[in-house]
Amino acid sequence: MPTPSRNYRMHGLIWAQIRIPSLAHGLNQCTLAGVNKSCQTFSLSSLMEAELLVEQAFADRIYEFPRMQILTKMTFLRQKISRLETEQHMLYPRRAVKRGSENVKEHISSALQIPSLSMNRNLGSKKHGQSIPATVDAITARPVFLVVHLFSGRRRSTDIHACLDAFAGQMGFRVQILSLDTAVSAHFGNLQLGRSPWKHSATLYRARRVSATICGSPCETFSAARHHKPEGMPDSDTRKWPRPLRSSARFLGLPGLTFRELRQLAQGSEFFFQGLLAAVWTLQYGGVYLSEHPWKPEDEQKVSIWTSPWVQLLLQLPQVKLHRVCQWRWGAAVSKPTGILAIKCTKDKSPMQ
């Protein structure tokens, strides 16, 4: 059984490999005796701090391991099976049968008349080959348009989902909206790269099944509110308020960030590039695209996705437009402007297009 001093020595090595890659590379080339000698220089407090950092890093990344992902899915499926077994033994009250109040003559006059095969032949011969459809669905079928909403959040009665449903009903077609967000489903709404929801979405785009894309990538790592420090807080105390993580010159991250901030930064950048990839798929495979994000700050040194080189490259295309929208004109309590990136949303097209 390893002694406590040996455990601290091992944790010190792990801490060095995580925090200082160059030191870890040098340690790999050293002899075992040299490593033991260098580890003895660690003080007890430094080793305990290293152990805490290792445990915290392991706890932060444990759910990225394949085994933990499989265990999470197994737990989810066991809960569904347990719920199904419980409902199988439950007796639900049946609704009472409602009897109609109409008489026989009214029932015959109001019943739906489905033409038989012989009637189709007779009517077809009278109308010179014009036959009646075999089913009512063939007459009443309406086109269905698939809309993918990335980072949708929870559905509300006044959001874009409800507006699209109402608009589709007025125009005589249907929309099927895929709300992809962890607020909707922790598994089916997980848009991280490599997860099945993002892979299935990419398959739909490449198969030209997506008619429209609505995107609102998270702005927590881009927010200008990070530059407004609470009053009375010293500059040295950065643990109690979210400090800026980016700038216009360092779009992908400022130097000197902590491990937790780097992880948050990487996730925000990944979601941003996923929204851009959906825009590129729209240009390549067809459809329309709308993306909402806060407008550019007045200080040009602060970060904004609208001034990034990737968005500026897209704006050189004629079918890509960037609009500035003042939210107070649409009922918002604040006057904060927002930006909307629109692709193939020209005014000369009909609403269905």
CB neighbours of 170 closer than 8 A, spacing ≥ 6?
Answer: none
Q: What is the pLDDT of residue 350?
A: 41
Q: What is the pLDDT of residue 304?
A: 93
Strands (E), the chain: 144-150, 174-180, 212-215, 288-294, 320-326, 337-343
pLDDT band at 319 (very low <50, low <70, confident <90, very high): very high
CA distances from 329 to 103, 166, 278, 324, 333 (A): 57, 22, 29, 12, 9
Q: What is the pLDDT of residue 241?
A: 75
Q: What are the percentages of helix, strand and coil residues in the chain, rounded to 5?
A: 45, 10, 40
Closest CA to 225 of 152, 302, 333, 337: 302
Which residue would you say has higher pLDDT here, 52 or 311? Answer: 311
- The predicted model gives 117-127 an average pLDDT of 47
Q: What is the pLDDT of residue 31?
A: 44
Q: Is the pLDDT of residue 278 over 90?
A: yes
Q: What is the pLDDT of residue 94?
A: 56
Q: Is the pLDDT of residue 101 over 60?
A: no
First to last CA, the chain: 71
Q: What is the pLDDT of residue 121?
A: 47
All domains of the chain, ordered by start, with CATH? 4-63 (no CATH), 144-343 (3.40.50)
Q: What is the pLDDT of residue 33?
A: 47
Give the range with max mean pLDDT: 104-113, 177-186, 342-351: 177-186
pLDDT band at 120 (very low <50, low <70, confident <90, very high): very low
Which residue would you say has higher pLDDT here, 49 or 296? Answer: 296
Flag the least confident range among 39-43, 63-67, 150-154, 172-176.
39-43
Note whether 140 and 265 are within 8 A (CB): no
In angstroms, rounded to a whole number, what is the distance separating the alpha carbons of residues 11 and 56?
12
Name residue 97's amino acid: V
Which residues partner with 322 through β-bridges? 341
Could you tell me how far CA 345 lies from the centroid of its own chain? Answer: 22
Q: What is the pLDDT of residue 84?
A: 81
In angstroms, rounded to a whole number, what is the distance separating the alpha carbons of residues 117 and 96?
37
Note whether 292 and 240 are within 8 A (CB): no
In angstroms, rounded to a whole number, what is the distance separating the alpha carbons of residues 108 and 63?
64
Share of the chain above pLDDT 90, in %: 28
Q: Is the pLDDT of residue 55 over 90?
A: no
Flag the least confident range among 43-47, 90-94, 204-208, 312-316.
90-94
Name residue 244's amino acid: P
Q: Is the pLDDT of residue 73 over 70?
A: yes
- The predicted model gives 89-113 an average pLDDT of 56
Q: What is the pLDDT of residue 114?
A: 46
Please state whether beta strands 144-150 and 174-180 pair in parallel, antiparallel, or not at all (unpaired).
parallel
Q: Is the pLDDT of residue 53 over 70?
A: yes
**Model confidence pLDDT, tens digit, residues 234-276:** 666 656 678 889 999 999 999 999 999 999 999 999 999 999 9
Which residue would you say has higher pLDDT here, 100 or 178? Answer: 178
pLDDT band at 347 (very low <50, low <70, confident <90, very high): low
Q: Is the pLDDT of residue 38 over 70?
A: no
Which residue would you say has higher pLDDT here, 149 or 44? Answer: 149
- The predicted model gives 317-342 an average pLDDT of 87
**Model confidence pLDDT, tens digit, residues 5-15:** 444 445 444 54
> What is the pTM (predicted TM-score) of this model?
0.57
CB neighbours of 149 closer than 8 A, spacing ≥ 6?
Answer: 160, 161, 177, 178, 179, 180, 181, 213, 214, 215
Q: What is the pLDDT of residue 291?
A: 94
Share of the chain above pLDDT 70, in %: 67
Q: Is the pLDDT of residue 211 over 90?
A: yes
- The predicted model gives 38-65 an average pLDDT of 72
